[in-house]
Amino acid sequence: MKALVYGFGPYGKYTHNVTTEIVREINRAKLAQGIVFDVKFDPNQFTAALKRYQPEVIIGLGQHPRARKIRIERRARNCRSTRASKKKRIEADGPEHRYVSLKIPVAEGATVTYDAGNYVCNYSMYLMCRETEKMNAKYAFLHVPINVDVQKTMELIATVLER
For the chain, give the mean pLDDT: 95
| Cα-based distances in Å from 111 to 71, 115, 136 | 5, 12, 26
CATH class belonging to 3-162:
alpha beta
* Per-residue pLDDT, 86: 85
Instruction: Give the Cα separation of 52 and 125 in Å (integer).
Output: 18
Q: What does the domain layout of the chain look like in residue ranges?
A: 3-162
Whole-angstrom distance, CA of residue 11 vs CA of residue 3: 25
Confidence of residue 88 (pLDDT cuts 50, 70, 90): very high
